[in-house]
Chains A and B, each alone.
Chain A
Amino acid sequence: MHWFANPARFIRLADKILPLTLPLTVGLLAVGLYLALVASPADYQQGDTVRIMYIHVPSAYMALFCYMIVAAAGFSTLVWRHPLADVAGKAAAPIGLAFTGLALVTGSLWGKPMWGAWWVWDARLTSVLVLFFLYLGYMAIWGAFEDRSKAARAAAILALVGVINIPIIKFSVDWWTTLHQPASLFRADGPSIDPSMRPPLYVMLAAFQFYFFTVFLWRIKGELAAIRLNALRYAGEAPRSASPKEEQP
């Protein structure tokens, strides 16, 4: 872990990984969308509406995955003060927010024709909406503090408090009665999705995963550059300033 603590070393590593993940993302997304929208069969009940599932399920999975990254980064910030942890959390949050939004919107588009309602306040839908607001809150905290380390710590605490929501989202469909169906893919007795419908789902999951790593690394690099820029600016002005901590651009 501490090997990464050197930002320059991390950036060198990221520059080696990115040329691999970027084409993988684009390629998998193209194949996945073709399989999902064209090559896969229609459902016996839902017809072509089932194709929304190939976007919805990977988005929902990524919404949870990103939050686990944000929470792990928060833990590392609070406990080990790892210099890259807060950067990683800050980088992952907007990606998670986007995936959560995508899951909510695609779910809603599916719900109207299938259930007969855009939205219901059952435990699954509500807990995912809470996740959406947790991401927003996390990002708002980052914006609310002038002092970077204070912002990092406050955001980390929110991220860790919010981690309670993750098992609630996952198991809401088992613990309570909901309109949302139980898990189809990640379940103890194997997927309840016909084998002919699994390849597009798996490819889309992989595509979203690689998309995440690509954008995540980009955002970390950008954040590190911003920190460096700030430090340089600060170093340039510091000798003249009486109370350097107060100064703001």
Chain B
Amino acid sequence: MTALRGQKAWTRKRRRFWLTVLALLTLALAAFLIFRALDEQLLYFRLPSDVADEAPEPGRAFRLGGLVETESLVRLPDGMSVRFSVSDGENALMVHYTGILPDLFREGQGIIADGRLDENGLFIADRVLAKHDETYMPKEVYDAIKERGHPDGATPSGKTP
């Protein structure tokens, strides 16, 4: 009698186990479908290549991300504005920005700019954020690697910013 009751309790537990697992799997599937549908919206920024493929109409706000091309930074005569080119290796886009740039901003650095295209295809940025990559090292190590002949620095540049 106790053996029978024990077995019954065990099957009930087993049923609850599989029902819970099934519920979790259904939930995971639902989440997967939702996030697949939202994929575009969840991108925080677009690369210059995305803009080249399908340029947003002038005046529509979006975020542009990429690396500041070396030797592309120009300070404009008004003393407040800069122009620089943002590139993803394939395409590049000129950015115009008036204001204070973040500390980490430099040529070769990843950045994200909030703004819009004007009629001439120039990106007018309202805000520029520096994007830090996932590499952490002391200055000495950086200098040592640089001396050994990686002019762009030690940052692994395989990843998009």
CB-based contact B27/A161 at 8 Å: yes
A113, A116, A161, A164 — most chain B CB neighbours (10 Å)? A116
Which among A113, A114, A115, A187 has the greatest number of chain B C-beta atoms within 10 A? A115
Residues of the B chain whose Cβ atoms lie less than 8 Å from the Cβ of A181: 131-134
Instruction: Considering the complex, give the chain A residue whose CB is closest to the CB of B112.
Output: A179
Q: Which stretch of A15-23, A41-49, A89-97, A223-231 is in the interface?
A: A41-49
Per the CB 8 Å criterion, the residue count for chain A at the interface is: 41
Q: B2 near A: Cβ within 8 Å?
A: no
For A197, the closest partner residue in chain B by CB is B136
Residues in chain B near residue A160, CB distance under 8 A: 20, 23-24, 27
Chain B neighbourhood of A182, CB < 8 A: 133-134, 159
Chain B interface main SS type:
mixed
A1 within 8 A of partner (CB): no
B71, CB-defined interface residue at 8 Å: no
User: Does A120 have its Cβ within 8 Å of any Cβ on chain B?
Assistant: yes
Interface residues of B in 131-148 (CB under 8 A from A): 131-143
Q: A179 touching B35 by the CB < 8 A rule?
A: no
Complex contact B44–A114 (CB within 8 A) = no
In the complex, what's the smallest C-beta–C-beta distance from B7 to chain A, in angstroms? 16
> 1/0 contact trace for B1-45 toward A, CB 8 Å?
000000000000100110010011001100100010001001111
Q: Assess the A41–B104 pair: CB atoms within 8 A.
A: no
Whether the pair A122, B130 counts as a contact (CB closer than 8 A) is no
Q: Which residue of B lies closest to A116 (CB)?
A: B102
Q: Which residues of B contact A41 (CB under 8 A)?
A: 138-140
Residue interface bits A186-199, CB-to-B below 8 A is 1, else 0: 01000011101100
Known A43-B137, A179-B131, A194-B138; judge A78-B20 contact (CB<8 A): yes
Judge whether B79 is part of the interface by a CB distance below 8 angstroms.
no
Tell me the bound Cα distance from A184 to B137 in angstroms: 12
Q: Is A163 interfacial (CB-CB < 8 Å)?
A: yes
By the criterion CB–CB under 8 Å, are B129 and A53 in contact?
A: no
| Cβ-defined contact, A79 with B129, below 8 A | no
A115/B131 in contact, CB under 8 A: yes
User: Which among B23, B104, B140 has the highest number of chain A CB atoms within 10 Å?
Assistant: B104
Among A43, A116, A163, A197, which residue has its beta carbon within 8 angstroms of that of B24? Answer: A163
Smallest Cβ distance from A114 to chain B, in angstroms? 5
- A79 engages B17 (CB within 8 Å): yes
Contacts of A42 in B (CB 8 A): 138-139
Shortest Cβ distance from residue B40 to the other chain A in the assembled complex, whole angstroms: 10
B134 touches A114 (CB 8 A): no
Q: Check if A177 sits within 8 Å of B45, measured CB to CB.
A: yes
A106 at the interface (CB under 8 A from B): no
Which residue of A is nearest B137, CB measured? A194
List the A residue with the shortest CB-CB distance to B24: A160
A116-B102, A179-B44 known; A192 vs B156 contact (CB < 8 Å): yes
Instruction: Flag if A176 contacts B43 (CB, 8 Å).
Output: yes
A192 adjacent to B13 (CB under 8 Å) = no
- Enumerate chain A residues within 8 angstroms of B143, measured Cβ to Cβ: 44
Min CB–CB distance A157 → chain B (angstroms): 9
Contact of A176 among B20, B44, B159 (CB under 8 A): B44
Residues of B101-145 contacting chain A, CB below 8 A: 101-104, 112, 127-143
Task: List B contacts of A53 (CB < 8 A).
Answer: 136
User: In whole angstroms, what is the CA distance A186 to B127 when docked?
Assistant: 32
List 8 tightest A-B contacts by C-beta distance, closest first. A116-B102, A41-B138, A194-B137, A44-B142, A122-B44, A44-B139, A184-B134, A181-B134
- Listed A/B pairs (29) with beta-carbon separation below 8 Å: A44-B138, A79-B13, A80-B13, A80-B16, A113-B102, A114-B102, A115-B131, A116-B101, A116-B129, A117-B127, A120-B44, A121-B44, A123-B44, A160-B27, A175-B42, A176-B39, A177-B44, A179-B129, A179-B131, A181-B131, A181-B133, A182-B133, A193-B136, A193-B137, A194-B136, A194-B137, A194-B138, A196-B141, A197-B138
